[in-house]
Amino acid sequence: MELSASVSIQHTDSGLEYINVNSPLCTAKVFLQGAQLCEFTPTGKSPLIWVSAEEDYQEGKPVRGGIPICWPWFGVHEKADWPIHGVARKLLWRAEEVNEFSDHIVVRLSLPMRLVDKRYWPYDSKLEVEFRFSEQLEVRLTNTNLGEEAFTLSQALHTYFPTSAIENTTVDGLQGATYIEFGKGPFLQDKVVGFERETDMVYTQANTIQTIQTPEGSIEVTRENSSSCVLWNPWIEKSKRLSYFRDDEYHTMLCLEAANVLDDIACVESGQSHTLATVIRWL
Greatest CA separation for the chain? 53
Task: Give the active site residue among 85, 104, 257, 274.
Answer: 257
Query: What count of other Cβ atoms lies within 10 Å of the Cβ of residue 46?
Result: 13
Task: Give the active site residue among 158, 249, 251, 274.
Answer: 158
257 counts as catalytic = yes
How does DSSP assign 16-42, residue by residue?
-EEEEEE-SSEEEEEETBTTEEEEEEE
What is the SS3 string spanning 169-224? CEEECCCCCEEEECCEEEEECCCCECCCCCEEEEEECCCCEEEEEECCEEEEEEEE
Contact 201, 181 (CB under 8 A): yes
Task: Give the pairing of strands 253-260 and 228-233.
Answer: antiparallel
11 counts as catalytic = no
Active site residues: 158, 257
